[in-house]
Amino acid sequence: MAQSKQEAQRKSKVGEGAAAKAKQLESFSQGPESLLTTNQGVAIPDNHNSLRAGVRGPSLLEDFILREKITHFDHERIPERVVHARGAGAHGYFELTKSLVEYTRADFLQEAGTRTPVFVRFSTVAGSRGSSDTVRDVRGFAVKFYTREGNYDLVGNNIPVFFVQDAMKFPDLVHAVKPEPHHEMPQAASAHDTFWDFTSLMPETTHMLMWIMSDRAIPRSFRMMEGFGVHTFRLINAKGVSHFVKFHWKPRLGKHALVWDEAQKIAGKDPDFHRRDLWEAIAKGNFPEWELGVQIVSEEKAQALGFDLLDATKLIPEEMVPVLTVGKLVLNRNPENFFAETEQVAFHPGHVVPGIDFSNDPLLQGRLFSYTDTQLSRLGGPNFHELPINKGVCPFHNFQRDGMHRMLVNKGQVAYEPNSLATGAEFRVDGGQQGFQSFTEATEPPKIRRRSPSFDDHFSHATLFWNSQSPAEKEHIIAAFQFELSKVEVPAIRQRVVDNLAHVDAKLARKVAEPLGIAVPDAKAAAGRAGFRDVRGKLPLEAAPSLSMESNPPANGAALATRKVAVLVANGVEMGALRVIQAALHDMGATTRIVAAHLGFVATSSGQQLAVDHTFANMPSVMFDAVLVPGGAGSAQALMLNGDAVHFVLEAYKHCKSLCVIGEGAQLLRTLGIGAGEGGPAVAGVVIGKNDPPGRTQLAQEFLAAIARHRHWMRPNVDAVPA
Ligand code: HDE
């Protein structure tokens, strides 16, 4: 009985937290009003004309209405984030499904069922605020938990390791990847000399380079990518016992990628591809979900891993330490205002709550001062915690005061501690067991500017990653290295990269070098260079299958949810089979869109009108996951004569997407040399059916199964299809 009362109290507190957060944001919003006023509240009689000396005379300086409007406009931009400038955010909640009481005293991780409001921001790293979403890059995955004990930020990425081991190298890395300083090109791309110059001289980047050249760097959707805390953190329980922890976010929809050619085209066709995808999914009620997983490692076990947990270029394979699922993250509300929320949100890895603490990872340690520092210049002063999106749901109190843009009206005479004047009794905060307690850790003298020898292994994890990829994933990595290095103008840099790669895998290095007009990779040449270490750690495993995206598909239903299927039509389209397939797709949560040469309607073979959603030009094949071409002689013939329609099908084939062609619609496959039901060999992910009723349901099921595979990487003749 007592327990259920407690439970009710807890739930109502959680509800209060989320409601308070929403209210806080609302209180600052301004709905459309019938009356327009200045910022001082003075009514504006005319918002179209400035004050002039005569109707054709000069404007007057005294026009405070015009001056206020233009001055505000002139200052509407704040500095963009120096990295992670381009992003998209959403509100939601985190629900604990398994108590972590054994490992941490963090309040929001105690009781299964506890819900904590969150704000999440996804981002690319290198590009400016207006750059494209689908560039090859790491994605930021930053989560702000508004807990009852204060805000906790888990500021992670979609790749579990990082380029460099020490914060000292971060500015160099960022300078190298950003547009080159003399001409400010290229935007949002690593395919240029300075990036590869730097990374080839810093072999510790090799593991991350393998990830960034893999399909992980071109996700199909924010909703379909993993997130990682990257660093090792600590969980501290009520008894003060510490365990190391790595955080994982696992998407319910599975992990999926675009094709590089497709990603580049989308960058032009819809630079907001990932933003739009997130926004639309939430707006339609398809709330994105991730499981929170933790890998927990005791201090003793950490010693026996065979590599150093404090080195952010290493990961703990799930095969060595399983990921324990402890909660779920659901994003269920789009921001009201991009600037107020997504732009002004200020994350900080140093925002921790009691029970979560840092490890001595030198990259993490460097981040701990950087994030406050950057907000000071980005958000204009020390009071950014008062912005509605950054404010906690629990009260805060301290004696900090004043500063730019202070919103809070601190009351009373006292702004110091200890004091006896505030309440008439002595107030002193001086030790005690309440609040955040840093883990008591013995530190090792002497003070030293040197890396631990345990950080010297730069290749074993890169090799592990390579060994763990499927054949198609390996091909994509090779192609990505080749593409990037083909953009590098200085041959010696290309050579250095492949010489380093020879330490990951000789075949990989050889393959990458083949089309680059350079010498055969030479592992010995790399080994002689300054800063090069090849002290291989001893990993107990050759490969970790958990690191492959292709080998770990999601459950069938999840793989189809929210997938977009294009239906190509023209006058005369046959609707019978189409309706059956559409119904089957909609049942699984996929969407279908009718695409034609023009908007409005097309006439079906039975004389009905079919509404068109998009044209071939405004919604090309790269915007879809799969393509369906229904039957109907008139429709098929018209499509065959339309270059955009033929290109639509060819491109989808090239990008290894699932295709379903019915009856006469199969003619669109002719250019590909695929037989239309003429007994030719089956092609992966190409489903060919007939107009007649028997077999329609089976056809639908085959098409659904094909889409659930995401892509059919090993499809024949893909390279022969013009891009
Ligand atoms: Fe960041 N990083 N970072 N970072 N980072 C920033 O903070 C920095 C690193 C990450 O959506 C900046 O508010 C240093 C690793 C994300 O607002 C800045 C170092 C990881 C975001 C900064 C790192 C990250 C940032 C820029 C090396 C993965 C976007 C604007 C010591 C675990 C958060 C800002 C958002 C943003 C510094 C390395 C993730 C400049 C010095 C490793 C997701 O402060």
How far is residue 384's CA from residue 673's CA, in Å, rounded to a whole number?
Answer: 61
Q: Which of 330-334, 464-468, 530-534 has the lowest mean pLDDT?
A: 530-534
How far is residue 642's CA from residue 709's CA, in Å, rounded to a whole number?
Answer: 29
Q: 12 pLDDT band (50/70/90 cuts)?
A: very low
Where does residue 489 rank: exposed (0-12), middle (13-18), buried (19+ CB within 10 A)?
exposed
pLDDT at 4: 47
* Ligand 1 atom nearest to 170, measured from its CA: 27
pLDDT digits (tens, 9 = 90+) for 185-210: 999 999 999 999 999 999 999 999 99
pLDDT digits (tens, 9 = 90+) for 204-241: 999 999 999 999 999 999 999 999 999 999 999 999 99
pLDDT at 33: 63
Nearest CA to ligand 1 atom 16: 140
Would you call 390 a catalytic residue per the annotation? no
Give the β-pairing of 614-615 and 591-596: parallel
pLDDT digits (tens, 9 = 90+) for 295-318: 999 999 999 999 999 999 999 999
Averaged pLDDT score across all residues of the chain? 93
Rounded (10°) angle between helices 260-269 and 471-486: 60
CA 600 to centroid of chain Cα atoms: 36
How far is residue 634's CA from residue 441's CA, in Å, rounded to a whole number?
Answer: 77
DSSP-derived secondary structure letter, 687: E
How far is residue 615's CA from residue 601's CA, in Å, rounded to a whole number?
Answer: 11
pLDDT at 22: 59
* Ligand 1 atom nearest to 363, measured from its CA: 31
Whole-model pTM? 0.95
Q: How many CB atoms lie within 10 A of CB 2?
A: 6
How far is residue 652's CA from residue 469's CA, in Å, rounded to a whole number?
Answer: 24
pLDDT of 64 strictly over 70: yes
Q: Would you mind telling me the total number of residues written for the chain in this entry?
A: 723
User: Alpha helices of 598-640 — where are they, by DSSP H?
Assistant: 633-640
370 lines ligand 1 (CB under 6 A): yes
The two three-digit tokens of residue 369, written as one number: 């001062």
CB distance 529 to 546 below 8 Å: no
pLDDT digits (tens, 9 = 90+) for 618-668: 999 999 999 999 999 999 999 999 999 999 999 999 999 999 999 999 999
364 lines ligand 1 (CB under 6 A): no
Largest interatomic CA distance in the chain:
94
The residue annotated as part of the active site, out of 151, 157, 334, 383, is 157
User: Alpha helices of 52-94 — where are they, by DSSP H?
Assistant: 64-74
Would you call 157 a catalytic residue per the annotation? yes
CB distance 696 to 581 below 8 Å: yes
Where does residue 534 rank: exposed (0-12), middle (13-18), buried (19+ CB within 10 A)?
middle
Nearest CA to ligand 1 atom 9: 367
